[in-house]
Amino acid sequence: MHADSLFTLAMAAAVALLITPDGLAGPAPQPGMTWESIRSLPDFGGSWSMKLQPVPRPVLKPAPAALFSAWERKTSNGEDPSDVDGIKRSYCGPARFSGFNGGLQDFVELLFTPGRVTIINELGLIRRIKLSSEPFRETPAETNSGVSIGHWEGRTLVVETRGLSPDIGWDEPRSHLPIKIGRHARIIERFSLVAPDGLQIVTRITAPDLLAAPYEITTLYSRDRSHEFRAVSLRFPPRPAAWPATREQPPMRRAWRRVSLARG
């Protein structure tokens, strides 16, 4: 058989794979599946830091609401409810995802490669998001960052996450607080640029063991293209006899209160 005949047969076979039983061409690959298509996507490059802003309070179920009230009473008295043994050991642990990508004390990066979006922050969080139209497995494995599947809707990246470990803390994922996200939590995020250097993430969380109603929050980030991404760690000042709930608190304490109370 001549080479041109082999080429013709190969092309016919390739076309047949793209034709549905109805004789119509199959759906085109979604954006982000090739380097070429990535070039046409919004530019999420650079390092992102979160803007401080008021956030809504979650509507908790009765049992976790009681725990949360007790926790707030401790923080208002200058106590750190996660410091169960006085040496900050309860903050030690792997980075976990509970709907918050970081950016308060650290920077966040979003990396695009064909078929995947990777989100990392300087405190050690790593999220690998598969770009796919495939459904989730019925019972995805439970991990510290869950299983994330994303797709593009126009200029907006939509990511759904399931399979989160039920032991992840609601307010501070690393800590040993008794307020846990619970089983069957589901998080949907919508990432979009709202300014040349402004990123918006609209997040909706359902957690049947914890929340009496879905929790929705919009988080804004600012871009710094000159920042050199680096690993950082939580650093705590020497603990005084009591932390006053004033503006004169040590710097790390102020940041801790913003994370814990503002997001609560």
Residue 63 is assigned to a structural domain of this protein: yes
Query: Is the pLDDT confidence value at 185 over 90?
Result: yes
In angstroms, rounded to a whole number, what is the distance separating the alpha carbons of residues 77 and 73? 6
Q: What percent of the chain has pLDDT over 70?
A: 70
Residue 82 has pLDDT above 60, yes or no: yes
Domain assignment of residue 26, yes or no: no
Taking alpha carbons only, the member of 219, 205, 231, 234 closest to residue 80 is 234
**Is the pLDDT reported for residue 38 higher than 60?**
yes
185 vs 260, residue with greater confidence? 185
Per the structure, the complete domain to which residue 76 belongs is given by: 47-262
Asked, for residue 51, whether it belongs to a domain, the answer is yes
Count: domains in the chain: 1
In a domain, 14, yes or no: no
pLDDT over 80 at 24, yes or no? no
Closest CA to 80 of 257, 263, 259, 262: 257
Inside any domain, residue 33? no
Half-sphere exposure of 70 (CA within 13 A, CB side): 10
- CA dihedral 202→101→62→86, nearest 10 degrees, is -160
Does some domain include residue 35? no
Please give the model's pTM, rounded to 2 decimal places.
Answer: 0.76
